[in-house]
Amino acid sequence: MRLQWKYALIINLSVLVILGTFYAIDDFAAQRDLHRLHLRDVENGAIFRQVADTIRVQVEQEIERQQEFNRQRLEGMLRQLTETATEMTDVVDINVTDGVNARISASLVAGKDPANLINLTEIDLFEIQRKAVQVYNMVELPGQGYGTEIIVPYQVDWLNEFSDGSTISGVIQVLFSTPDINRYIQALRWRHFWSVVVVILLLCLVIVITTIQLVLRPLEQLAQIVRFAETDDLDALQLSYESGDIGRVTFTLVRMLKELKASHQKRIDALGQFAAGAAHEIRNPLNAIGMTSQHLQSVFAQETVTTEDVEEAKELLSIVNTETRVLQQTCDHFLALNRPQQVNLQPTSLNDLLAEVMLGITVVANEADITIENNMETQLPLIEIDSTLIRQVVVNLIRNSIQSMPKGGRIFIRTSLKKAGAASRVILEVGDTGVGIPKNIQERIFEAYFTTRENEGGVGLGLAIAHQAITAHKAQIEVQSQVGMGATFKISFRIPENNPHL
């Protein structure tokens, strides 16, 4: 899974889990509190209605006693009632209207005029006029939070003697403080506040942990790798690679850096071997040229030069010329590894080419007590190759085989035609009964400057040049060997489907 999708998935799932948990806890707490408030409201409702009825009776009695709606006396009676009656402790205000309307005619709180209205809707007035019922509401009290409102109608008989039959003389609004509701609302606000804080902190924690695990820690590993790479101390690097994109990149980077370091070390070692071999290859001809030049100089330093001295000088110059050609050939080998191999492809009979090579190498093989055996495919088609390069490759392989059998042995040269569907290949195999090649170095034998014959002056260019020549032909070369059982080099030339020589 890509990093961005994994990161988004973890964050979104965390948000859903945290918000879902918050909602479940908050819903449970809200239902519990609402149940408690409901029980408390039922309990308070009965008390508040009883108090409202007491106030209604007192108002009706005061009006009947005065035989008029006397505001001052009515307000005085209300104040005295709330001060003396213990059940009136929760009463905040009492408003009385003269008639069934919302205009306040008398109030417990001084300073109100008829312009002040009680919280009485048209529906409330209609219900009061029609059924003479009480109105029970929750209202917001100025500066005191929420409270309970009870509106009850009152009846004074003499006030209705000229009425149309209605028995309601006015309404009384009683406002009660409800600290339970206010405490609940305040607690609810604080609970929501702290819940939001906790949710934010949890989300921040999830984001921080996720970022550290998925981004920062893998990036720190990358930075650590860079620091170790700068100090060239990757071998001391111990990392437990994280899963995910950055973890895979980190693992790949470490592997690439170690491979590059190993490859670089191999090249340094190969350069050291090359320097030693090249010095040996160049030093021998140079020593011969130097000694010959000194001898030639002593010949011509004589006062009289005879005919024999001239002939000797010619032989010495011939030696110089031969050693110079050796140096030129060595330099050509070095240059061949550092520039693209140019091939001159011509239709060639591989069997005929191998016959020429075996003819030229037979003398050397006989001197080494080595027998060359061949098994050629008679129906082999012509193939497009550079005969000069392939001849050089085969000669190098045969010479390597001869050098691997210091006590004599056999060399096998085989050709065959392999068909696989529409594709065909010509196979050339050169094998021997020599000492073989250890498995741990088989993958390196085609590297330039790699040799196992440093003591014999080997430079490690023969198989490298052979591999380069085979690759230039778009062919493949591979080795099969076991220590003590010889080695076989197998070269596979691909034949195009439209080859006219098939």
Q: Where are the domains of the chain?
A: 3-185, 245-336, 346-495
Say if CB 151 and CB 173 are below 8 A apart.
yes
Rounded CA-CA distance 49/182 in Å is 20
User: β-pairing, 487-495 with 476-481?
Assistant: antiparallel
Element (H, E) at 440: none
User: Could you check whether 3-185 and 346-495 share the same CATH topology?
Assistant: no
Specify the CATH number of the domain 3-185. Answer: 3.30.450.20
pTM, to two decimals: 0.45
Rounded CA-CA distance 334/298 in Å is 35
CB atoms within 10 A of CB 224: 14
Residue 182 has pLDDT above 70, yes or no: yes
Residue 389 has pLDDT above 70, yes or no: yes
Q: How far is CA 168 from CA 51, 130, 158, 177, in A?
A: 19, 10, 11, 27
CATH top class, domain 346-495: alpha beta
State pLDDT tens for residues 132-147: 556 667 777 777 777 8
Q: Which residue is associated with the tokens 């050796």?
A: 326
State pLDDT tens for residues 63-76: 888 888 888 888 88
What's the distance, CA 188 to chain centroid? 44
Rounded CA-CA distance 79/288 in Å is 138
Residue 97 has pLDDT above 60, yes or no: yes
- What does the longest C-alpha to C-alpha distance in the chain come to? 178
Give the pLDDT band of residue 246 (cuts 50, 70, 90): low
Residue 333 has pLDDT above 70, yes or no: no
DSSP string over 260-277? HHHHHHHHHHHHHHHHHH
State pLDDT tens for residues 199-235: 888 888 888 887 777 777 777 777 777 776 666 666 6
pLDDT for 162 equals 46
Residue 373 has pLDDT above 70, yes or no: yes
When pLDDT is averaged across residues 82-88 and rounded to a whole number, the result is 82
Burial string for 35-69 (b: 16+ CB within 10 Å, else e) reads eeeeeebeebeeebeebbeebbebbbebbeeeeeb
Task: Tell me the residue length of the chain.
Answer: 502
DSSP string over 313-364? HHHHHHHHHHHHHHHHHHHHHHHHTTSPPP---EEE-HHHHHHHHHHHHHHH
Closest C-alpha to 63, from 222, 172, 164, 213: 172
Q: Calculate ∠ Cα 416-417-419, nearest 5°.
A: 145
Q: Computed over its alpha carbons, how large is the radius of gyration of the chain? A: 56
**Three-class HEC string of 116-162:** CECCCCHHHHHHHHHHCCCEEEEEEECCCEEEEEEEEEECCHHHHCC
Give the pLDDT band of residue 165 (cuts 50, 70, 90): very low
Residue 175 contacts by C-beta under 8 Å, 6 or more apart in sequence?
Answer: 91, 92, 93, 94, 95, 139, 141, 147, 148, 149
Residue 488 has pLDDT above 90, yes or no: yes
State pLDDT tens for residues 253-293: 777 777 777 777 777 776 666 666 667 667 767 887 888 88
Q: Which of 77-81, 360-364, 390-394 has the lowest mean pLDDT?
A: 360-364
